[in-house]
Amino acid sequence: MARYAMQRFILALAVAVAVSIISFAILRVSTDLAQALAGEAANQEEVEQIRIAYGLDRPLYVQYFAWLGDIARGDFGESYYFREPVAGLILDRLPLTFTLAGMSLLLALIIALPLGVLAALHHNSWIDRLCLGIAVVGQAMPSFWFALMLIFVFAVTLQVVPLSGGDTWQGLILPAVVLAYYATPAIMRLTRAGMIEVLASDYIRTARAKGLSSASILVKHALRNAVMPVVALAAVKFGFLLGGSTIVETVFALDGIGYLSWESIQRADFPVVQSIVLLFSLIFVFLTFASDILNAWVDPRVRV
Amino acid sequence: MAALLDIRNLHVRIPVGFGHVHAVRGVNLSVEAGQTLCVVGESGSGKSMSALSVMNLLPPRAMRDADRILFDGVDIAQLGPRQMAELRGNRIGMVFQEPMTSLNPAYTVGNQLMEVHRRHRGSSRSAAWARAAELLELVGISNPEMRLRQYPHQLSGGLRQRVMIAMALMCEPGLLIADEPTSALDVTIQVQILRLLRDLQRRLGIAVVLITHDLGVVARVADTVAIMYAGQVVETGSARAVFASPRHPYTNGLLRSMPKPGNGRGEPLQAIPGTVPSLLETIPGCAFAERCARADEACRVGPIATTIEERHSFSCNHPADIRAREEV
Ligand SMILES: Nc1ncnc2c1ncn2[C@@H]1O[C@H](COP(=O)(O)OP(=O)(O)OP(=O)(O)O)[C@@H](O)[C@H]1O
Ligand code: SF4
Ligand SMILES: [Mg+2]
């Protein structure tokens, strides 16, 4: 296990380094930073002065290590728009985005696991097709449209939840539903596929030959093995839900990371955009690592 | 003596595409308490489907139909799923061909052994653990306490099959069904497992249905034999009678292709020339006609005469003479 964890960790580290290089490069290659800092109106001389003042004339690798060093110290640079440290901007909004992603993942699992099992148990029947149908519609419907429908029905017409804002947990219900709706199909399909495969396996036949109860066969022998890949998927989905919050936060006027990144892209606030890209990428790398470890922990074949 | 297991006119049909595989076509089998029945036949002859019918563990859409399947005086073909579950693992144990995949990879050997006992006997954890250790010892596994704590992937194929046998015997069943329990194992391990099965059968006095390809095994362990071909039992009887004077041409063919004792035993049966008829269609007359040297027009059209003697019966219009192994 320790050996396996070490291997995974080294891999994660390598990916993290690659991610940092790419997110560094994206910004440097996509625009002339000195020009962006100086503004459209600045003349050539002013731009050159800024280039030297910000160290942008140094070789790229020097700039990269300087940037990396800053980040290691928690200095993510300063927002062009807010004129404030990026770290603070992000830190203020992180809890909201995490809560939202956590709520939607939980909701998605609560819906997807039973439906996936149900579809597998009745596979190729109308129940199965109905579940798959819901999944297909779920994946095809644009999220902003779904969000607006929910707002219209539950916030405007029925008025059972607040229209917008993340000050209360009720305000997070609709956005969590929207996000969960997108995470559900994949989890459901994987659960279904896993269950179908496991239910046809020799050890399930053994469990039946032992005369075990249906509940024991289903939960102890089948589900346990079928959800192993779902664990990994759930961790990765959490990353997607964090990243996917951009549209949802914008539609529901939630001041989280997603909304911040949306605004920052519009304002060409590159330090913020770059930091968010880097941060979410690193979170993603970490989640993948965590899901590998989690997977190993539930599967004795990997654990040893 | 009334048989412990008595199957009459068993049919199994499995839907495939637009038709059915008629995998088992009117099989009769019976085993007496404490005796060993060997079921022999080429691949696809319906041995597994017959065995699984007894356990009611056929593939999901397979249809089973029988006049009766008497187990210890009760027609288990009439039992509901719950009553059937009471029987399985408790009074009838089963061992499968695939030791590598028949144990759940997520649980320890001990866990999987104990749960049968706890389910059927309602025993405490410690009692079930003690019973599991006892059974591992019985099937010849040394250091049972250590093995109970291991996961299946830490065990070799031979050990896993021993665990499967132990599992099937946890609740002292009257009948053990072993479906080619050694086919997936190395030859030396095969011999050990078969010896183990025979010893257990004698020590515990249980009835065993042993499905096998290996006539050498049959000769050594069987009390009675059933020869299957294309979903039917073509010849059955006491092992002594069938080996001494096989009457059905197919049985004769099998025995001829059997390796002589001493040189390379345990090899798969050598194919008799020709192919098995498709089980998708109804077979008029004798299923073996296409491969039979004695076949005539009446054989192809049917009906086929069934001869029932005291300890021997067979279905053939032109059976071989008694005590003369035919040399065609
Ligand atoms: N799940 C299934 N779906 C369709 N047909 C099947 C299925 N399982 C078995 N069959 C068919 O049923 C027939 C009998 O199969 P069975 O497994 O009983 O044979 P067998 O005598 O046990 O052979 P083997 O020695 O290979 O184990 C075969 O023709 C096989 O193709
Ligand atoms: S019935 Fe006819 S074809 Fe069939 S085995 Fe006997 S002799 Fe051969
Ligand atoms: Mg078989």
Q: What is the DSSP string of B108-167?
A: -HHHHHHHHHHHHH---HHHHHHHHHHHHHHTT-SSHHHHHTS-GGGS-HHHHHHHHHHH
Task: Specify if B97 maps to a domain.
Answer: no
Between B207 and B274, name the one with better pLDDT. Answer: B207
Same-domain status, B246 and B311: yes
Does the pLDDT at position A32 exceed 80? Answer: no
Ligand nearest to the CA of residue B320, numbered in listed order: 2
Helix (H, G, I), strand (E, B) or coil at B92: strand
Nearest CA to ligand 2 atom 6: B316
- Whole-angstrom Cα distance, residue B132 to residue A105? 41
Task: Specify if B254 maps to a domain.
Answer: yes
* Predicted TM-score (pTM) of this structure: 0.82
Main-chain dihedrals φ then ψ at residue B55, nearest 5 degrees: -80, -10
For A225-238, what is the mean pLDDT? 86
**Which of A69-73, A203-207, B189-193, B271-275 tops mean pLDDT?**
A203-207
Same-domain status, B216 and B297: yes
Residues A260 and A280: beta-carbon distance below 8 Å = no
Nearest CA to ligand 1 atom 12: B23
Between A138 and B9, name the one with better pLDDT. Answer: B9
- For residue B324, count other CB atoms closer than 10 A to its CB: 9
- For residue B281, count other CB atoms closer than 10 A to its CB: 10
Residue B265: its pLDDT value, please?
47
* Domain residue ranges of chain A, discontinuous segments joined by +: 2-66, 95-269
B139-169 burial code (b ≥16 CB/10 A, e <16): bbbeebeebbebbbeebebbbbbbbbbbbbb
CA B50 to centroid of ligand 1, rounded, Å: 10
Same-domain status, B214 and B235: yes
For A76-89, what is the mean pLDDT? 86
> Which residues of A, range 50-89, sit inside 8 Å of B by Cβ?
none
Residue B319: pLDDT band with limits 50, 70, 90: confident
Cβ of residue B326 lying under 6 Å from some atom of ligand 2: no
Does the pLDDT at position A195 exceed 90? Answer: yes
CA dihedral B202, B206, B209, B213 (to 10 degrees): -20
Cβ of residue B279 lying under 6 Å from some atom of ligand 1: yes
Same-domain status, B164 and B186: no
Q: How far is A257 from chain B (nearest CA, A)?
A: 40
Residue A302: pLDDT band with limits 50, 70, 90: low
CA B258 to centroid of ligand 3, rounded, Å: 20
* Contacts of B129 by beta carbon, 8 Å cutoff, 6+ apart: B110, B114, B148
Same-domain status, B134 and B204: no
Residue B261: its pLDDT value, please?
55
The structure tokens listed for A239 are 């990353």
B120, B142, B170 - which closes a domain: B170
Which chain A residues touch B107 with a CB distance below 8 Å?
220
The H or E element containing residue A131 is helix A126-140
Does the pLDDT at position A209 exceed 90? Answer: yes
Does the pLDDT at position A233 exceed 90? Answer: no
Residue B209: its pLDDT value, please?
96
For A47-69, what is the mean pLDDT? 84
The structure tokens listed for A10 are 């080294």
Between A300 and A19, name the one with better pLDDT. Answer: A19
DSSP code string of A146-171:
HHHHHIIIIIIIS--S-SS-SSSGGG
For B308-315, what is the mean pLDDT? 88
Mutation to probe ligand 1, out of B18, B24, B42, B47 (largest number of atoms < 8 A from CB): B47
CA B288 to centroid of ligand 2, rounded, Å: 6
Same-domain status, B164 and B175: no
A175-196 burial code (b ≥16 CB/10 A, e <16): bbbbbbbbbbbbbbbbbbbbbb
Cβ of residue B14 lying under 6 Å from some atom of ligand 1: yes
- For residue B119, count other CB atoms closer than 10 A to its CB: 22
For B278-307, what is the mean pLDDT? 84
Does the pLDDT at position A304 exceed 70? Answer: no
Does A225 lie at the interface with B, CB-CB under 8 angstroms?
yes
- Whole-angstrom Cα distance, residue A145 to residue A148? 5
CA angle A97-A103-A107, nearest 5°?
145
Same-domain status, B45 and B185: yes
Residue B263: pLDDT band with limits 50, 70, 90: very low
Chain B, nearest residue to A226 by Cα: B106
B170, B197, B225 - which closes a domain: B170
Residue B114: pLDDT band with limits 50, 70, 90: very high
* Contacts of B307 by beta carbon, 8 Å cutoff, 6+ apart: B247, B313, B314, B315, B316, B319
Residue A113: its pLDDT value, please?
92
* Contacts of A93 by beta carbon, 8 Å cutoff, 6+ apart: A255, A256, A257, A259, A260
- Whole-angstrom Cα distance, residue A289 to residue A294? 9
Same-domain status, B227 and B285: yes
Task: Answer yes or no: do B90 and A203 touch at CB < 8 A.
Answer: no
Half-sphere exposure of B79 (CA within 13 A, CB side): 19
B116, B149, B170 - which closes a domain: B170
Nearest ligand 2 atom to the CA of B289 is 3
Same-domain status, B108 and B29: no
Same-domain status, B158 and B300: no
Main-chain dihedrals φ then ψ at residue B246, nearest 5 degrees: -65, 135
Alpha-carbon distances, residue A221 vs A56, A206, B129, B317 (angstroms): 60, 10, 19, 50
Does the pLDDT at position B279 exceed 50? Answer: yes
Return the minimum-mean-pLDDT range out of A243-252, B43-52, B82-91, B313-322.
A243-252
Same-domain status, B181 and B299: yes
Return the minimum-mean-pLDDT range out of A93-107, A159-173, B144-158.
A159-173
Q: How far is B106 from chain A (nearest CA, A)?
A: 6
Nearest ligand 2 atom to the CA of B304 is 1
| CA-wise closest residue to A134 among A153, A157, A108, A160 | A108
Task: Specify if B265 maps to a domain.
Answer: no
Please name every residue paired with B179 in a beta bridge, in sequence order, or none if there are none: B211
Does the pLDDT at position A219 exceed 60? Answer: yes
- Whole-angstrom Cα distance, residue A293 to residue B105? 18
Mutate to test the interface with B, among A121, A124, A205, A206 (most CBs of B within 10 A): A206
Residue A24: its pLDDT value, please?
83
Span B201-259, pLDDT tens digits: 999 999 999 999 888 888 888 999 999 999 999 999 999 999 888 889 999 888 887 76
Task: Say how many domains are in chain B.
Answer: 2
Span B27-76, pLDDT tens digits: 999 999 999 999 999 888 999 999 999 999 998 889 999 999 999 999 99
Mutate to test the interface with A, among B102, B111, B155 (most CBs of A within 10 A): B102
Task: Determine the straight-line distance between the first and last CA of chain A, rounded to whole angstroms.
Answer: 6
Residue B328: pLDDT band with limits 50, 70, 90: very low
Residue B83: its pLDDT value, please?
93
| Domain A95-269 sits in CATH 1.10.3720.10 | yes
Mutation to probe ligand 2, out of B232, B248, B288 (largest number of atoms < 8 A from CB): B288
Does A229 lie at the interface with B, CB-CB under 8 angstroms?
no
- Whole-angstrom Cα distance, residue B10 to residue A58? 86
Structural domain for B144, as ranges = 102-170
- Whole-angstrom Cα distance, residue B267 to residue B189? 14
Residues B66 and B11: beta-carbon distance below 8 Å = yes
Task: Answer yes or no: do B106 and A225 touch at CB < 8 A.
Answer: yes
Mutation to probe ligand 1, out of B7, B40, B43 (largest number of atoms < 8 A from CB): B43
The overall average pLDDT reported for chain B is 88
Main-chain dihedrals φ then ψ at residue B45, nearest 5 degrees: -80, 0
